[in-house]
Amino acid sequence: MHSALNVKMIKLIVANWKMNKTVEESCLLANELKNLLKNEKNVDIAVCPAFTSLHPVSKELKGSNIKLGAQNMHFENSGAYTGEVSPSMIKDLGCEFVIIGHSERRESFNEDDSLINKKLAAALRNGLKPILCIGENWEQRLNEETEDILEYQLLKCLSGIESIKDLVIAYEPIWAISKGNPNQKAATKADAEESHLFIRKVISGIYEEETAKNVRIIYGGSLKPENAKELLSMPNINGGLVGNASLNAKSFAEIVKAAK
């Protein structure tokens, strides 16, 4: 077990809607969230709709306490990249955050750490706050390779990146999310805390301890209303990246309220 770093910061709860919701459905959900969460002052909140819904959801959330993020982006600002969306385009729509290197992008679309590194650099260059996803799968966990995998991903993804003051890291244990979990084994708060603390230690080695203390590390392994309070109470877990539970306004609002 690693020794603790005392970390106290405002938590960030991010909704990843993935490939769900039409424009109309996205706007309805955004409107529900706006009403349910309008009095939440001590938590940072962001939603990441599909690209098709970014512009209307941006208008829906205007003047609210909920920020906007995208689920992915290309590393170039423009060019002959049919079907891709650039950092400047999502910035233009009012996005503050962008998810980079989600496990589903890595697994289904073969994104590797060097591509993710290019996207991270491009996001930061364009004034976006990237949410870098890292994490091990079930086999790697069984083989006790968790720390090796996390360190390798961090070193590769952050290569050449001088400042990470706008970076968020999401620890996403693939074995603890429904798609990558053959044994339905959820991460305990101790599992999650230990990995978050290890990530912070690696960051302090790449940069310095002050940077490590100030980087938000959020949890992305099946965060739900039932486990949110105990996971978010851990000292090195600074928020959550929420998948399925974010598609329902009430369940996402419960997670946000558990983060205070």
Active site residues: 102, 172
Beta-carbon contacts of 111 under 8 Å, excluding residues fewer than 6 positions away, are: 101, 105
CB 228 within 8 A of CB 258: yes
Q: How far apart are CA 220 and CA 240, in angstroms?
A: 6
Residue 216 buriedness (CB in 10 A; 0-12 / 13-18 / 19+): buried
The DSSP letter of residue 84 is -
Half-sphere exposure of 41 (CA within 13 A, CB side): 1
Sequence-ordered strand ranges (E) for 142-233:
168-171, 216-219
**Can you tell me the distance from the alpha carbon of 150 to that of 99, in angstroms, rounded to the nearest whole number?**
17
| CA diameter of the chain | 49
Q: Report whether 97 contacts 87 (CB < 8 A).
A: no
Distance CA 96, CA 108 (A): 25
